[in-house]
Amino acid sequence: MSTKYIFVTGGVTSSLGKGILIASLAKLLQARGFSVTIQKLDPYLNVDPGTLNPYEHGECYVTDDGAETDLDLGHYERFLNKPTSQANNVTTGRIYQSVINKERKGDYLGKTVQIIPHITDEIKRNIKLLGRKGRYDFVLTEIGGTVGDMESLPYIEAVRQLKWELGKQAMVIHLTLVPFLNASGELKTKPTQHSVKSLLENGVQPDILVLRTEHELNEAIRKKVALFCNVDVEAVVQSIDVPTIYEVPLKMKEEKLDVTVLKKFGIPVGAEPELNAWKSFLNKYKNPKHKISIGLVGKYVELPDAYKSIVESFVHAGAVNECAVELKFIHSEEITHRNASQMLEGLNGILIAPGFGHRGIKGKIEAARFAREKDIPFLGICLGMQIAVVEFARNVLNYQGADSTEMNEVTQYPVIDLMEEQKGITNMGGTMRLGAFVCKIKKGTHLYKAYKKETIKERHRHRYEFNDKYIKDFENAGMKPVGINPETGLVEAVELENHKWFVGVQYHPEYSSTVLKPSPLFAAFIQACI
Ligand code: GLN
C-alpha cells in the first residue's frame, strides 16, 4: 500500500488536544496492524524548543537521537510505544534555517527565494521524508497552532498543495470546539463553522471534523455541522471530555474515527483493532489496590506541563503496581531548613525534578536532605541527582560550600562540574549532552533490581556531571556510583547505602516510559513507596 498522509489542524482555540487526538487515531490504526508515525510541525521561529523556557512551552522532550522536541512527541511515543526522532518535529525556524543555508550555498541558482514555493517546498519535503520508501502505511502530521494564525499560513498552504498533489492519498482532519452556553443551555456550532470557513479561504476542505465538547452531541448538531461544513455526517466525530487521556483511543473507536479514515482512503476495514493490553492497562489504572502520595519538588509547580513526562510515567508505572499515585507539586523556593519537615510530612516518596539555574536550589537541597535523613524513598532526576550529590557532600562529607559549578563556578568542592567537551561551547541551542547513551549497572543495587539487567540505554539532557575526582570519598561515606557509561566512565547513577531506596540518575527515565512499557525505575520507586 502506498503511504497515506493525514493532516490534523486545529481551530477555534488552542489546547483542544490535537496531540492526543492524532496519537489516538494513530494508536487505532497501529492496533489494526498498520505501520504509523506521527510528526509535529511547530510554527514558531526557534529552531527547536530546547532554548524555550517551560513557562513558554512546557516540557522539552528528548528523543533517542538527541533531538530536543515538542512535548507532543512524548504523547506519540507513550501511545505508540515506538521511538520518534528529529524528523518527527520540525519548526518554522528549522525550515527557514535550511532554506537560508541552501540560498547561501547557491542552490537556488539565482532565483528569488520566496515563501511560496521555497518555504512551502521545504515544509512538504519534511513531511514526505517520513513517508519515503514506503516505510509507513500512514504518516500523520499535526500542524501546530490554530487555523487563522498568520504563522500557520505557510503550513496550511503546504497542506493545500499536498492534498492537490497526492489526491486520495491525503486527508485533513480538523479539530474544533463546540462550546456549551450555560445561559441558553445550548451547544454552539458557530465557532466550528467559522473555523472551517477560514480553512476554506486558504483552499483546504477538511475531510473529517472532530468536535471537542463537554456534553454529548445529538444527531441534529452533527447534521447541522455536516451541512454547513461540506462533510458527511459520519465524518463529524465527537470528542467528549474523559477522565484520562488514555481513554481517548477507545472513545475515538466508539465514534468509528478509524473506520471513517480507512473508508475514505478506500482501504478495506478488516478486523477490529487489537487493544487488549491497552484496556488491561486502563483497567488497572482505574481500579488501584494501593494509594501513595509522592512529592514532586520543582520550581514550575504551577505548570504541570513542565513535568509532563514525569507525570505520565507515574500513571504508567502506577498502573503496573495497581497503585494510585497522588502527585503533590511542592515549590522548591518555599522549602527551608526550618519548614522542611512540615512541608514534606506524610509523603511516601520524594522526587526532585530536572532543571536549570539557581532558582529554588536551596529548597531542593533541603528536600534531598530530608529524604536521606528520614529514610524516605527518593528519586533524583538529572538536576535532582546532582542536588543529592551536593547535599551529601555538604552534610555528610562536610565539604563546606560544595556545589555544582552551574551554581557556583568558584566553589572549593566542585562535586558536579561541567563536562570536558562542554567547556568551549558558547552556543546554547542543541549543544548539551543529548539523547540515548548506554549505562552499565552494578549488580545487587536498587537500580539493577529495577531494570533486571546490566546494560540499559536512557536519554540525557544536561551539561554538568558527577566529578569523578571525588568518587572514592563518596563511596567510602556511603553514596555509591551504581551506573557508569562504559565508554566515557561518566557516573550516570548513584545510590545511598543503608537507606530504604535512594537513587539519583543523571539520565531521564521519564522520556522512555510508555503505556505498554512503563519505566522500570519509576515502577521500582513506586514499589519502594508502597
Ligand atoms: N542543569 C543541569 C545540567 O545541565 C541539569 C539538567 C537537567 O536537569 N536536565 O547538567
Identify the H or E element spanning 128.
Answer: helix 120-131
Entry pTM: 0.96
Strand partners, 171: 6
Measured by CA distance, the residue closest to atom 3 of ligand 1 is 462
CB environment 189-202: b (16+ within 10 A), e (fewer): beebbebbebbeeb
Q: Which amino acid is at 378?
A: F
Query: What is the rounded CA–CA span in Å between residue 194 and residue 208?
Result: 16
Give catalytic status of residue 510 as yes or no.
yes
Give catalytic status of residue 75 as yes or no.
no
pLDDT (0 to 100) of residue 359? 93
* Catalytic residue selected from 60, 382, 439, 529: 382
Query: E strands, 71-163, where?
Result: 89-91, 138-143
Question: Contact at 8 Å (CB) between 434 and 382?
Answer: no
Give catalytic status of residue 60 as yes or no.
no
Strand, helix or coil for residue 326: strand
Query: What is the rounded CA–CA span in Å between residue 77 and residue 525?
Result: 22
* φ, ψ of residue 459 in degrees (nearest 5): -95, 150
pLDDT (0 to 100) of residue 420? 82
pLDDT (0 to 100) of residue 472? 97
From the CA of 426, how far away is ligand 1's center (Å)?
16
pLDDT (0 to 100) of residue 320? 96
* 394 Cβ below 6 A of ligand 1: no
Q: For residue 116, give the DSSP letter.
A: I
Question: Which residue in 523, 437, 449 sits closest to 482, CA to CA?
Answer: 449
Would you say how long the chain is, in residues? 530
Calculated CA dihedral for residues 31, 32, 33, 38, nearest 10 degrees: -60
User: What residues of the chain score a pLDDT lower than 70?
Assistant: none
Strand, helix or coil for residue 372: helix
Q: Going by C-beta distance under 8 Å and a sequence separation of 6 or more, which residues neighbour residue 126? A: 39, 41, 87, 90, 95
Measured by CA distance, the residue closest to atom 6 of ligand 1 is 462
pLDDT (0 to 100) of residue 72? 95
Q: For residue 508, give the DSSP letter.
A: B
pLDDT (0 to 100) of residue 529? 98
Question: Contact at 8 Å (CB) between 479 and 506?
Answer: no
Which one of 461, 467, 507, 510 would you pick to mutate in the ligand 1 pocket, going by the greatest count of ligand atoms within 8 A of its CB?
A: 461
Question: Contact at 8 Å (CB) between 226 and 235?
Answer: yes
Look-up of cell digits 516540557 = 59
Question: Which residue in 244, 241, 240 sits closest to 319, CA to CA?
Answer: 244
- Atom index in ligand 1 nearest the CA of residue 353 equals 8
- Atom index in ligand 1 nearest the CA of residue 384 equals 8
Question: Which residue in 389, 373, 394, 522 sits closest to 466, CA to CA?
Answer: 389
CB atoms closer than 10 angstroms to residue 184: 8
* φ, ψ of residue 179 in degrees (nearest 5): -75, 155
In 345-477, where does DSSP find H-type helix? 361-373, 383-395, 446-451, 471-477
Q: How far is CA 226 from CA 9, 236, 454, in A?
A: 17, 7, 57
pLDDT (0 to 100) of residue 525? 98
Strand, helix or coil for residue 330: strand
Helices (H) and strands (E) in the chain, counts: 18, 23
In 132-189, where does DSSP find H-type helix? 153-166
From the CA of 353, how far away is ligand 1's center (Å)?
10
